[in-house]
Homo-oligomer: A and B are copies of this chain.
Amino acid sequence: MKDASPLVIPTYDDVIAAHDRIAPYIHRTPVLTSTYFNEMTGAELFFKCENFQKAGAFKVRGASNAVFGLPDDMLEKGVATHSSGNHALSLSYAAGRRGIPCHVVMPRTAPQAKKDAVRGYGGIIRECEPSTTSREAVFAEVQAETGADFVHPYNDPRVIAGQGTCSRELMEQVPGLDAVIAPIGGGGMISGTCLTLSNTAPGVEIYAAEPEQADDAYRSFKAGHIIADDAPNTIADGLKVPLKDLTWHFVSNHVTDILTASEDEIIDAMKQTWKRMKIVIEASCAVPLATILKNPDVFKGKRVGVIITGGNVDLDTLPWIK
C-alpha cells in the first residue's frame, strides 16, 4: 500500500525563514581555496567548510530548523531520529540548546567518537543493527514509547530547507560559480542545494558525488526511479542511506549528474585534503574531491563550489594507517 500523505515540498521562502531561525545557533562557515588542488584539476575550487560547523557538520542546519520551529505543545515530548551519526549529533545539539529531549537510534557499529559526542550533547541513544531495516524497526518502537516528533535525517521539508541555507551562504561568499558539488547519501544536502540554486541561480550545475560501493543514488538517477540497497558497505559512513520520496523529487528534477569514486580514491582524496589544506574532513566529504580528480574534463575551467560536509572523525583509526 502506498503512503497516502501528499509530499510537502519546501519552497525557497522556507530556506529564507530557516536561515533567520537558525542563525543564532550555527556558524556562517568560511570558504577555503587551494592553489595545489586548483593546479591539479584545472578548475577553481571553493571549499565551503561545514566541517567547522557547530557539532562538526552541515546537519546542524536542518536539525536546528526543525527543533526551533517545533510548536510549543511538542516541546515536552521532544524530538527523535535515526541517523548514521552527524544528524544524531546535530539534533542532540539543537535540542540541548532549546532544552528539550532528543531520542536517537544509532547503528551499534557507528564510530565510538560519534556515540560519545551524541551523549555529550545530552542525546539518548538506542542502538540498532547496521541495516536500514533494523534501524527503522527499532525507531518505530522508540517513537511509540516516547511520542517524540520524528525529525528524519533528510526526508523532511524542515531539514531540507535548513540544508538549503548552506548553498545560500556559499553563493553570497563566492560570486560567479559555474557548478556546486556535494556528497549524496539520503540526499538532504543535495536537495537543499537544488532548492536554493534552482530558485536563485538556475544556471549553476549541481553535481552529486557518491561512493561506488553505495551507489544507489547513481543507479536511481540513471534508472529514473528510486533503487535502495540494504546495508551497503563504504568508508564514507554518512552516505550509506537511500534516497526517499522527497529527496528523490529534488534529485530527479534538478541534479546535473551523479559521479562515483572507489574506496581507494575516497581515502586518497581525504588524506590529500588533510595534507594540503590542513583541515580534518570525514571520508564522506572527500567523495566530491575524489570525483573531481577522477573526472577533470567535467570541471576544467569552471568555478566549482565544493561542500565539505563534516569533520567528525575517529582520530584513533585513520583509514590510511593500518
Query: Interface residues, chain A, CB within 8 Å of chain B?
Result: 30, 32, 49, 51-52, 56, 113, 271, 274-275, 277-281, 311, 313, 315-316, 318, 320-321
Contacts and interface: CB of A to CB of B under 8 A. Distances in A.
A321 B321 CA distance: 9
Given A30-B30, A271-B315, A315-B271, A56 B278 contact: yes
Contacts of A278: 49, 51-52, 56, 279-281, 311
What number of copies of this chain does the assembly contain? 2
Residue in A56, A280, A311 whose Cβ sees the most chain B Cβ within 10 Å: A280
A289 to B, nearest CB: 16
23 contacts: A30-B30, A32-B52, A49-B278, A51-B278, A52-B277, A56-B278, A274-B280, A275-B280, A275-B313, A275-B315, A278-B279, A278-B280, A278-B281, A278-B311, A279-B279, A280-B280, A315-B318, A315-B320, A316-B320, A316-B321, A318-B318, A318-B321, A321-B321
A321 B281 CA distance: 18
Contacts of A280: 274-275, 278-280
Contacts of A274: 280, 315
A315 B275 CA distance: 7
A120 B318 CA distance: 26
Contacts of A271: 315
Contacts of A315: 271, 274-275, 318, 320
A279 B311 CA distance: 9
A170 to B, nearest CB: 16
Contacts of A49: 278
A160 to B, nearest CB: 25
Nearest to A32: B52
A313 B49 CA distance: 21
A285 B189 CA distance: 35
